[in-house]
Structure 1
Amino acid sequence: MHPEMNVVEPVAETCCAGKSGDVLPVDIAGAKAIAAAVPVTGIERVPLIEAVGRISASDTVSTISLPAFDNSAMDGYAVRTKDFAGSGPWRIPVSGRIPAGNGSGRRFPPASAVRIFTGAPVPKGFDAVVMQENCKRSGNTVTFSLKPGTGQNIRRAGEDLENGAAAVPAGTSLTPARIALLAAIGTEAVEVRRKVKVGLISTGTELREPGQPLGPGQIYNSNRYFLRSSLKRPWGEIYDFGIVPDDPETIRVAVREASETCDVVITTGGVSAGEEDHMMDVLRRENAELEVLKVAMRPGKPVTVGKIDGALFFGLPGNPFAAAVTFSQIALPAIKLTAGMKSVDTSWMPAVSGFSYRRKPGRTEYVPVAWGGRDTDGRPIVEMLGRGSSASLSPMAVAMATAVLPPDMANIEPGMPLRIEPFCE
């Protein structure tokens, strides 16, 4: 990028709100959303092979040690280190052979070595394994030039996981690696939280679905596709209530149905204070308990968080990038807690700015970034994509991450340290 091209001027924010109420910092708004989240209580027992991505409902305690027995980490020869007296080389007769899967308790004569293979049980009294590359076999005798250390190339019983230890604690997402661990201790089925039911409502008379013809002033409903894709998780079940026009009573019916059906309700659009923004009136009429009305973030200031008829409620802005940012930063962590996860910390990594950007301080800002190089410390040198508009989709589509600009950071210059986060991890 040429120097004269990398100074980004902010554009006017099109996602401002006129709602009354305090403007909360992002961390406070996120904490309020998390505090309002109540984990679903239903429990299902599913086959382990079908449990990937589900949330464990209870601790899975191992009933065996892992490994279950001392076994060889190498193909080679099991030996007794006491047989390596004096200086080498040492010539020791081979008295047997133990392949993997052979669990016999056979005893071997003193001052002998045993041919052993990876995973095979180490016979009693033998305290080291010498890998086959470090010795020489001749007939029924093997020669060692180096004295082995006690425990060399032996995987001890229970060193991976002890009998009685929690293999996977409750509230954990069952990743492929965790499922492999559960399989290794003989788990056939696992208790998981029932799927969290998430209701989606898209408000806006101007919205049309892809494939439909567009009339004057109409746009396609991209937010529905973003949210459905982001929430297509093994722990979630989506209830899509479609597009609802800007009519207070129609919106109220949809919100009521969603809150009676689902654990979480997410709406997009209508949460600001314009004449056609009816969501706040609907929420008041439905006696919603609102914890967050405005957040000091850009984009996404008018995000609303609360409870309605027992369901966790998120009213997101209608502008696509604003909806995506508020969902990622405010809604998604709380939804994960509702699904039963115990830890929802956001992953992030350090980076440095490769651009200049003059901005008005006071709000935490999220900007889409990409990078092609790194500095001498290995940090990505990020470039800002687009111009920060809350309605922009193209920068979000090609972004590798978002850079988080703190409220007190007025001007960004090349080389400044930044924090970057993935989108909707």
Structure 2
Amino acid sequence: MKKMISVAEAKGLIADSVLRLDAVEVKLMDGLGRCLAEDIFSQIDMPGFAQSAMDGYAFSWRGYQEFGKMEIVGEVAAGAAEAGPRPAPYQSVRIFTGAPVPEGFDTVLMQEKASVRDGMLEVLDNDLICGRNVRLQGSEISKGALAMKKGTVLTAAGVGFLASLGLEKVAVVREPRVTLIVTGDELQQPGLPLGFGQVYESNSQLIQAAFLHLRFSQPKIVYAKDDLPGLTESICLAMLDSDMIVLTGGVSVGDYDFVVPAAEAAGTTSVFHKIKQKPGKPLFFGVRDYVLDAKTDLVTAKQTVVFGLPGNPASVLTCFYQYVLTAIEVYSGCPVSLPVKHASFLDGYKKNRGLTHFLKGIYSDGVVRLLGAQESYRLSSFSLANCLIEIPEESSEISAGASVVVHLFG
């Protein structure tokens, strides 16, 4: 636990430690953006009847081939309770989009290709074929078929599809309950005057905004003083109703850095402390004990994971994107990690070997350029960035034009 580990090792340990959360039933619209907790099977044929795809005229192809012109004997609109009695092969009906096609009929002629005179229909479409413009019963999905697989993230189109199958509710993996504990006696709330030695507290709004961007519920915010007993109590209280606790500040090894001992005193088992990266080297991650249901593989006794993020804002956001998102992805089943691309690096960069560097950059059309103000306390450049540039631990120099990995912000 004492040695620094690599970025890849840290992500692997987080993924191996965090357990997916249990399921909750929600209204269909409330499931938007969430991960389905079970397979969904259709309870109906969709459509439930042969359905016209056009405004036009329905008839039997065989009858058309035999008689040519056909008598128009009725009309069927969308929403009709029935399609009427079975017409004769030499007959046709006026029909509208979404209406049921009468029994025995198999083709719909679009109205623009029809000629009607004295109650008789003449077909003007030389390309018409049997079955044209008719949606067969169950052609979208048949009763009992798999509609959506467990683990699918529900999109707007998915909501519409499931609604068309008559679903009102869905089972989704519930959202993680998160408590954010902000430490630092030097912090002052925005809107209040700064005293000497104070800085405005921004990390809580930074993290809240990041969760909001992901469409997750806002974390509960707790402010804690820089003392071991008080911070330990805050962590213990948060564990009562939190799946995840995120602390900012107090995670290094200074005289007033109490996050690690407080987390351990609250029952957290350390998984790692310190990563070979810049910014965010002092990152802490630990897990409170949990129990699994052997049959379902779900948590029956609550698990709480604890992240201790460095206090500098750029470090906070970098660690959130790289590590907290890894845990949330496992928790929820939703692919929330930043998308990764390779890009041509416009600028050269030099560093000492031994640490992975995450640099704020601007990506466009396969090219990425480095921003200034890379220090961990500076958010000004982060507010302009649309990606993090990853410079590997083992590299000491990246030449201009070389290919680099970039993590794109959504």
- Report how far residue 333 of structure 1 moved: 2.7
Q: What is the Cα deviation at residue 408 of structure 1?
A: 4.8
Instruction: Tell me: CA distance 1:306–1:151, structure 2 relative to 1, closer, same or farther (3 Å).
Output: farther
Q: 2-side partners of 1:254 and 1:349: how far apart?
A: 40
Correspondence for 1:252: 232
1:86-107 Cα distance to aligned partner (Å, 9 max, x none):
9xxx644434332211241432
Name the counterpart of 2:324: 331
Summarize the alignment of residues 132-151 of structure 1 with structure 2, pairs less than 5 Å apart: 132-139=111-118, 140-151=120-131
Q: Identity across aligned pairs (percent)?
A: 31
Which residue matches 1:386? 372
Deviation at 1:131, TM superposition (A): 2.9
Contact 2:39–2:146 at 8 Å: present in 1 too?
A: yes
Letter in 1 for 2:82: S
* Residues in 2 aligned to 1:323 and 1:394: alpha-carbon distance in whole angstroms: 14
Q: Letter of the aligned partner of 2:112 in structure 1?
A: E
Q: Give me the TM-score of the superposition, normalised by structure 2.
A: 0.83
Residue-by-residue CA offset, 1:80-125 (whole Å, 9 max, x unaligned) = 4445659xxx644434332211241432221444332222223333
Any idea what the Cα deviations from partners look like across 1:215-270, whole Å, max 9, x if unmatched? Answer: 2222111111111222246654622112x232222222222222233111100112
1:154 aligns with 2:134: yes
Residue type of the alignment partner of 1:99? A
Counterpart position of 2:205:
225
Identify which of 83, 98, 103 aligns with 2:76.
98
What does residue 107 of structure 2 align with? 128
Q: Are 1:54 and 1:235, in contact at CA under 8 Å, matched by a contact in 2?
A: no
Which residue number in structure 2 is paired with residue 11 of structure 1?
Answer: none
- Alpha-carbon separation, structure 2, partners of 1:137 and 1:364: 76
Question: Is residue 40 from structure 1 mapped to residue 33 from structure 2 by the alignment?
Answer: no
Q: 1:95, 1:109 within 8 Å by CA — same for their partners in 2?
A: no
Specify every segment of 5 or more residues in structure 2 that has no aligned partner in the other structure, as ranges.
290-302
Change (3 A) 1:351 1:49: same
Alpha-carbon deviations, 1:139-186, whole Å to 9, x = none? 532332313234433333333333223434444444333222221111
SS of residue matched to 1:277? coil
Asked whether the 8 Å contact 2:153–2:334 carries over to 1, the reply is no
Tell me the residue number matched to 2:315.
322
Instruction: Find the residue that maps to 1:326 and give its secondary structure.
Output: helix
The equivalent of 2:195 in structure 1 is 215
SS of aligned partner of 2:222: strand
Contact 2:60-2:106 at 8 Å conserved across structures: yes
Q: Gaps (5+ residues) in structure 1?
A: 1-19
Counting matched residue pairs gives 393
Q: Write the letter of the residue equivalent to 1:119.
A: G
Q: 1:357 aligned to 2:349?
A: yes
Q: How many angstroms does 1:200 deviate by?
A: 0.8
CA contact (8 A) 2:35 2:153 kept: yes
Which is further off, 73-82 or 245-254?
73-82
> Equivalent residues in 2 for 1:197-346 (5 A)?
197-232=177-212, 236=217, 238-242=219-223, 244-308=224-288, 310-338=303-331, 340-341=332-333, 346=338
Structure 2 CA distance for partners of 1:171 and 1:113, relative to 1, 3 Å: same
Residue 415 of structure 1 and its aligned partner are, at CA, apart by 4.4
Counterpart selection for 1:395 from 381, 384, 391: 381
Q: CA deviation at 1:67?
A: 2.4
**Residues 358 and 158 (structure 1), Cα distance of their counterparts in 2 relative to 1, 3 Å cut:** farther
Q: What is aligned with 1:109? A: 88
CA RMSD of aligned residues (A): 3.0
* TM-score for both structures, normalised by structure 1: 0.81
